[in-house]
Amino acid sequence: MKLLVTVKRVIDYNVQIRVKADGSGVEKDNVKMSMNPPDENAVEEALRIKEAGKADEIIILSVGNDKAQETIRTALAMGADRGIHIKTENDLEPLAISKIISKVAEEEKPSIILMGKQAIDDDSNQTGQMTSALLNWPQATFASKIEIEGQNAIVTREIDEGLERIKVSIPFVASCDLRLNEPRYASLPNIMKAKKKPIDTKDASSLGINIEPRIEQIKVEEPPVRQKGIMVSDVAELVQKLKHEAKVI
C-alpha cells in the first residue's frame, strides 16, 4: 500500500506576521518558514501506518517554488521515502492545488492521501475535500484517529459538537487535525539520509491543468487593534467594574 502525503511551506506558526504597508499581502522576505503544522501530523500518521506494517511506501508531494524542496526534505528526514515537487512561482488556490494532487494521485495510485486540515496561511480548509470530490474517493476530514481495518478505515473526526466516527473504504482522502498524533523530530542521521532520497521535480505548467487564479485579492490589511484596558487591583474592584462600568453582569 502506498501513501501520498501533501505538505505546504508556510510562515512558521511562531512568527508574528506583518502586513505589507501597501496592502498587497503579508511580508514573507527574511521570515522563518516551516511545514504547515497539521501537515506534520499527516506525515507522522503516514509513518505510523507504515511502521505498523500496513503500508510500504510514503511519497511526499509539495507544490511551490524551489524552497518547497526544503519542506519535502523535512518530511523525508522524518522518514518518508521519496518526494515529488510540482514547481510554480505563484501562490495557487486550493482549487488548482487539488487538481494537481488528483493528477499526481492518478499516476501514483496511492491508497490513502493524507494532508493537514488547513494551511495556517490562507486558512481556506478546502484542499482535502476538493481532492476527494475530484477523485471520487471518500473523505475523512478533521481526523483525530485513523484505524485501518482491511479494505476500510474507521476515522474519528473532530466536529463542533464533539467527535464523530465514520467508516470509509480505501482509497480515501484524510485531512488531519492537530490532535491526531505528536509529530516526531528528525534525528541527525535521518536528516543526512534524507539528502540522498530522490525528489522528482516537474513544472506545474507541464501538467496540462488550468491553474489561473479565480479569486482576486484586492487588499490585505491589519485587523482592527484592540485598545489595552486597565488593570484592577482586586476581585471586588473587577466585579464592580463589570457590573457598573461595562454592565455585562
Partner 1 sequence: MTILVLAEHNNIDIKSSTLNTISAASQIDQDIHVLVTGYECEELAKNISKFEKVSKVYLANNEKLKNPIAENIEPIVVSLANNYSHIMAPATTFGKNIFPRIAVKLDIAQVSDVIKIISSDTFMRPIYAGNAIATVKSNDKIKVVTVRPTSFDPVETSGGKEQVENISFDNDSGSVEFIDREESQSERPELSTARVVISGGRGLQSAENFKLLNEIADKLNAAVGASRAAVDAGYVSNDYQVGQTGKVVVPDLYIAVGISGAIQHLAGMKESKVIVAINKDEEAPIFNVADYGLNADLFEALPQLSSELDKLNTIQQ
Tell me which of 32, 107, 168, 176 binds partner 1, using CB under 8 A.
168
Please state whether the peptide bond connecting residue 198 to the residue before it is cis, i.e. omega within 30 degrees of 0.
no
Residues 134-153 contacting partner 1, CB under 8 A: 134, 137-139, 141-142, 144
Q: How far apart are CA 153 and CA 240, in angstroms?
A: 55
Closest to partner 1 by CB, 166 or 199: 166
- Does position 242 interact with partner 1 (CB under 8 A)? The reply is yes
Region near partner 1 per CB under 8 A, out of 47-55, 77-85, 107-115, 171-179: 171-179
Q: Is 85 exposed, middle or buried (0-12, 13-18, 19+ CB in 10 A)?
A: buried
Quick one: 51 or 147, whose CB is closer to partner 1? 147
- Single out the residue of 56, 66, 133, 187 in contact with partner 1 (rule: CB under 8 A): 133
- Restricted to residues 1-60, the positions that interact with partner 1 (CB under 8 A) are 11, 13, 16-17, 19, 26
Alpha carbon distance 133, 125 (integer Å): 14
74: number of Cβ within 10 Å: 22
Does 239 help bind partner 1 (rule: CB under 8 A)?
yes
Least Å distance, CB 73 to partner 1, is 25
- Cα-based angle 14, 12, 129 (whole degrees, multiple of 5): 115
What is the bridge-based pairing of β-strands 57-64 and 152-159? unpaired
Between 108 and 122, CB nearer to partner 1: 122
